[in-house]
Amino acid sequence: MAVVPPEAETWDPRTWRTAMAVEVEDVDAVHAAALRRGLTVVYPLTTGTWGIRCFFVRAADGAVINVHGHA
């Protein structure tokens, strides 16, 4: 099953809209694992001023997923 809104195929990094958000305990470890597996990171690992560290990855079905954790 894929959860992909119509706009996922035309994702615009300026909107910050993603198909799904996943909170993880260690975002740096998940980011490293995503890179090792060859996943496409469409927004780099970043720490926001509000204390959330995140990156966006494109899933195989085209959906963009926000992976985040507390910094």
Q: pTM for the complete prediction?
A: 0.77
Q: Give the helix ranges, DSSP H, for the chain.
A: 27-36
Tens of pLDDT along the chain (71 residues)? 344 455 555 556 666 567 789 999 999 999 999 999 999 999 999 999 889 999 999 988 888 899 999 98
Give me the pLDDT at residue 12, please.
60
Residue 2 half-sphere exposure, CB side, CA atoms within 13 Å? 12
* Number of helical (H) and strand (E) elements in the chain, helices listed first: 1, 4
pLDDT for the residue 11: 57
